[in-house]
Amino acid sequence: MGLRRIFIGLTAHALLACSAAALAAEAPPPDSGQPVYGTWGFDLEGRDAATRPGADFFRYANGSWLDRHEIPPDKSVYTLRIVMSDWIDQRLRGLLEEAAKDAREEPASLQGKVGAYYRAFMAEDRVEQLGATPIEPELAAIRGTRSRAALAGLMGRSNASFIDSVFAFGIDVDLKDPSRYALYIGQADLGLPDRDYYLQAGFARQKAAYRAYATRLLALAGWPHPDQSALDLVAFETRIARASWSRTEQRDVDRTYNPMAVGELERLAPEFPWTAFLGEAGLGGLPRVIIREKSAFPKLARVVATTPLPVLRAWAAFRVADNSAPYLARPFAEAHFELHGRTLSGQQQQQPRWQRAIHAISGDFGSDARGDTFGTMGWAVGELYTDRYFPPSAKANIERMVSNLKAAFHARIEALDWMGPATRAEALRKLDTYNIKVGYPDHRRDYSTLVIRDDDVVGNVRRAAAHEWDFFRHRYSGPVDRDAWGMTPQTNNAYNGSLRDIVLPAGVLQAPIFDPNADPAINYGAAGAYISHELTHGFDDQGRKIDADGRIRDWWTATDAKEFESRAARLRAQYSAFEPLPGVHVNGELTLGENIADAGGLAIALDAYRASLHGQPAPVLDGYSGEQRVFLGWAQAWRGKLSDDYLRKMVVSDPHSPRMYRVNGVVRNVDAWYELFGVTPGDKMYVPPANRVHIW
């Protein structure tokens, strides 16, 4: 589940890394002194010049690359972002192997602890000898429960152990009082990617595989009657799925902010032992909590209360085995991969052990782990990474671009023809409050009390998770830290968070997103649009509900709000019509916020690039004008292909549209694109001017 499960910050999903062999043939190293792609930042050989831009711009910019590349067997997707991730992994491998050479059995230094953690994961012979023994403490605790209250108490430990919970919880900024933190509680993730996997006939194959997987893991863990227990626990999770909100409902900021005293929570969902749950989480005595899926809580509590205790124990044991399987002996790890990698994502081969070790220690285990930061030393790894690979000069370059992008967004808001002066003034005030964080945090995480051993990988995960939860739990009563980060520096991702901040980690600031040796137009089309995408999240269908002080408040006039909703509805309809596979449609409602951010991000980046020229003409490179290159930079940044199983999972569980629509769905609404690429009414992607959606 992981702490980030219910945090408010809107983030993109990072992807798995590619193989070293594929990487070596793909591009020169990012620190070679030349552009990573082509001679000016764009790979011309990757185009499909036979495709008209107006027929399929994604294919026009990327088609030859798509034709030449197959998804590697250890991947469910293959993209240029994966190439980025692999450069990070290669660098981290060098750093961790260097740290492991000098690591002691139980080191005290930061580098020593990281090295010992890596050695513990790589000690495969010892891991095989231990079998299921490392998770026996959790299994014994589950066996020993004699009441639902006792089991709810174990669920309260879910942020600090391999035990799972029906309810997820975390500490984040209070969206009605941004000067303090609050405890948010919501429905937890299920074992399958989304509730639709339990309820829709189209996912029957995956659900059957999940049951077989549960049987296998329970047998490996020595749990009695694994066949019947698996049948029962899948039926239990199916009841949970029926009671749960959809992911579309979970996006609604207004509906998911429900503050109440703990006593009110106990009256709302009296059949769940909240006192035991909060007490074991170390949160006993809190005056108030914020409930997310309010109407689901009584139903979820009822499901737990009416499920026989032996079934609940079997479910808890299985979830422990599932959460810990990547760190256990080969039968566990291989079973975990077969379900989560092969069946659910279309990945044909497991990644090498060194790469799994890096993800376990650094974070972002992709589809093969519990959460972004659960059980990791990600912030320590980030220190090592940025000290060596992200100099202050790189941070300064990005900060200059950010300044130009904010100025361009400011100008666009001022020029909007559909927004009135009162709403415009509030929007500009909100934009001015945004804090853009680049590269790495100014303050480093303290790991001095964390014990790491070079012979205890599961214990390291458990202790690191407890250390991370203690950090958030103890922060609850203190002042809000506006300098805080929610994503580690080595992460190939970015986010717009609840602090009215945009975090741009060092890991994402490399080609094809940002290349210091590339033509500026490419960087504006990729990094500029990417940064503006995150900035625009503060003004998407949910972000617009937060005011300049970080509070949930309606700061829109009724007329402006109605016009925004009208335009958003038109964009929703456009994306809902996209069909990446026969009978499989993009969910225009689930992806609405990301689609608004994509459209706004590219428009802002184009304006910022124009302003950066200061009235001077841009050079023409290989026949492309500067403005054309902005669009090519955007399209190249999303170059990649996905397996069918991954696509099916994505459209029901991911708030982002598939990659081809992050290009084609955006450019068709940008007026300049039509003139720049000669798109006419006879082209497939042509949208009449009156039907193009312009929001920001």
Task: Give the other-Cβ count within 10 Å of 271's Cβ.
Answer: 16
- Mark whether 577 and 462 lie in a shared domain: no
- Mark whether 365 and 397 lie in a shared domain: no
Mean pLDDT of 322-339: 98
Domain-located, residue 216: yes
* pLDDT cut 70: percent of the chain above it: 94
pLDDT of residue 365: 44
What is the extent of the structural domain holding 419? 35-71+393-433+519-696
Distance CA 324, CA 317 (A): 11
Does the pLDDT at position 588 exceed 70?
yes
- Mark whether 410 and 557 lie in a shared domain: yes
pLDDT of residue 161: 96
Domain-located, residue 288: yes
Within 435-519, residue ranges assigned H as helices are 457-475
Mean of pLDDT over the chain? 93
Element (H, E) at 493: none
- Mark whether 547 and 604 lie in a shared domain: yes
CATH classification of the domain holding 300: 1.10.1380.10
Query: If we measure between CA atoms, which residue out of 155, 241, 227 comes closest to residue 194?
Result: 241
Domain-located, residue 24: no
Domain-located, residue 141: yes
pLDDT (tens digit per residue) in 628-644: 999 999 999 999 999 99
Cα-based distances in Å from 264 to 267, 291, 294, 630: 5, 11, 12, 53
pLDDT (tens digit per residue) in 220-261: 999 999 999 999 999 999 999 999 999 999 999 999 999 999
Give the three-state DSSP class for 503: strand
Identify the residue with better confidence: 366 or 606: 606
Q: 49-67: string of b/e by CB count within 10 Å (b at 16+)?
A: eebbbbbbbbbbbbbbbbe
The domain boundary residue, chosen from 280, 295, 327: 327
The domain boundary residue, chosen from 283, 298, 327: 327
pLDDT (tens digit per residue) in 8-55: 332 333 333 333 334 434 555 666 789 999 999 999 999 999 999 999
- Mark whether 608 and 488 lie in a shared domain: no
Domain-located, residue 79: no
Count how many domains the chain has.
3
- Mark whether 305 and 450 lie in a shared domain: no
pLDDT of residue 246: 96
194: tokens are 């989304």
Mean pLDDT of 270-279: 98
Dihedral Cα 614, 617, 621, 625, nearest 10 deg = 90
Does the pLDDT at position 102 exceed 80?
no
Distance CA 16, CA 347 (A): 10
Does the pLDDT at position 608 exceed 80?
yes
pLDDT (tens digit per residue) in 429-469: 999 999 999 999 999 999 999 999 999 999 999 999 999 99
Domain-located, residue 28: no
Q: Is the dihedral angle over the CA atoms 125, 130, 132, 135 positive or is it negative?
A: negative
- Mark whether 486 and 606 lie in a shared domain: no
What is the distance in angstroms between the CA of the first residue and the CA of the last residue of the chain?
35
Distance CA 14, CA 372 (A): 9
331: tokens are 């039968």
CATH classification of the domain holding 646: 3.40.390.10
Distance CA 576, CA 574 (A): 6
pLDDT of residue 24: 38
pTM of this prediction exceeds 0.85:
yes
Mean pLDDT of 543-560: 96
Q: Which residues contact 543 (CB under 8 A, 6 or more apart)?
A: 10, 496, 536, 537, 593
- Mark whether 425 and 497 lie in a shared domain: no
Distance CA 473, CA 451 (A): 19
Cβ 148 vs Cβ 312: under 8 Å = yes
Identify the residue with better confidence: 18 or 620: 620
Domain-located, residue 336: no
- Mark whether 111 and 229 lie in a shared domain: no
- Mark whether 141 and 264 lie in a shared domain: yes
Does the pLDDT at position 370 exceed 90?
no
- Mark whether 286 and 359 lie in a shared domain: no
Domain-located, residue 505: yes
The domain boundary residue, chosen from 510, 543, 569: 510
- Mark whether 453 and 560 lie in a shared domain: no
| Bridge partners, 436 (sequence order) | 502
Distance CA 34, CA 268 (A): 61
Distance CA 2, CA 121 (A): 20
Query: If we measure between CA atoms, which residue out of 426, 436, 514, 467 comes closest to residue 80?
Result: 514
pLDDT (tens digit per residue) in 197-211: 999 999 999 999 999
Position 367 confidence tier, pLDDT thresholds 50, 70, 90: very low
